[in-house]
Amino acid sequence: MTMTQNKPIRIAIVDDHGIVRQGLRMLLTRPGIDVIAEGVCGQDAISIAEKQKPDVMLLDIRMKDGDGLKFLPEVCTRSPATKVIMLTTYANPGYLARAINDGAVGYLSKETEPEKIVEAIYAAVNENRLFDQSLLSQALQQVVDPSPPEPEPTEMPTDTLSDREIDVIKLIAVGMSNASIASTLNISLPTVKTHVQHILQKLNVADRTQAALWAMREGLVN
């Protein structure tokens, strides 16, 4: 792929999950790309856009002080040359339509292949756009969804979970499989599966990764 400039691409990462920021920084630590700033909220995104004028900003859809889509127009206003790529955990064609409407040049799932994110960055600086094609097809069939994304469950009290469920989620957070959890806690595999199902339901999260992130934010694991 061609480059429009010889100097490094200046990148800003705005995401309220430290693990995600760290992962993206590691992915983007390579010749030709320079991560110049990180932020954890929408106000950070606006400040970075205004003061540092990055070439590309990776902006999370869902953050604690409001969804990234809420701040996208202001980011584009403060730094019109900044190419904004939205990153999301959840597939929502309506939000994709809204992102396109408000000036984003890319919209990718956090579960996409890492090199796709790098590809999107190069596409952005070469004045191209890169969107999840399946979402794009759906988005073109509906109007922009004006509702804000539902907040991620960051403030769920730990007493929502039983003591045994706390034991299970701690082991999920350190990467154990259901079989390993069953062996560690000396319980049956079906029992572990039931606990995991209840944990996901109580926390209103879609998968084990989100449950693990919740456990880390709550300080249940080091």
Nearest to 176 by CA among 202, 215, 219, 218: 215
Read off the tokens for 203: 């926390």
pLDDT tens by residue, 37-68: 999 999 999 999 999 999 999 999 888 777 78
Enter the DSSP assignment of 135. H
C-alpha–C-alpha distance, residues 138 and 95, integer Å: 11
| Token pair recorded at residue 60 | 């999370």
- Total domains in the chain come to 2
pLDDT, residue 136, reads 54
Task: Provide the residue range defining the domain that includes 25.
Answer: 9-139
The reported pLDDT for the residue numbered 141 is 53
pLDDT of 215 over the 50 cut: yes
- pLDDT given for residue 127 in this prediction: 78
- Residue 133 inside a domain? The answer is yes
CB atoms closer than 10 angstroms to residue 133:
8
Residue 145 lies in a domain: no
Higher-confidence position of 110 and 26? 26
Pick from 137-141, 201-205, 218-222: least confident: 137-141
Segment 74-102 mean pLDDT: 84
144 vs 138: CA distance, rounded Å: 11
Please give the C-alpha separations between residue 177 and each of 46, 170, 189, 206, 207, in angstroms, as whole numbers. 40, 12, 10, 17, 13
pTM across the whole model: 0.60
**Residue 178 belongs to domain with CATH number:** 1.10.10.10
When the pLDDT of each residue in the chain is averaged and rounded to a whole number, the result is 81
Q: Are residues 122 and 58 in the same domain?
A: yes
pLDDT bracket for residue 1 (50, 70, 90) = very low
Query: CA 83 to CA 141: how far, in whole Å?
Result: 25
Are residues 207 and 131 located together in one domain of the fold? no
Instruction: Say whether pLDDT at 36 is over 90.
Output: yes
Highest mean pLDDT among 45-59, 129-143, 155-169: 45-59
Buried b (16+ CB within 10 A) or exposed e, 13-37: bbbbbeebbebbeeebeeeebebeb
- Same domain for 70 and 164? no
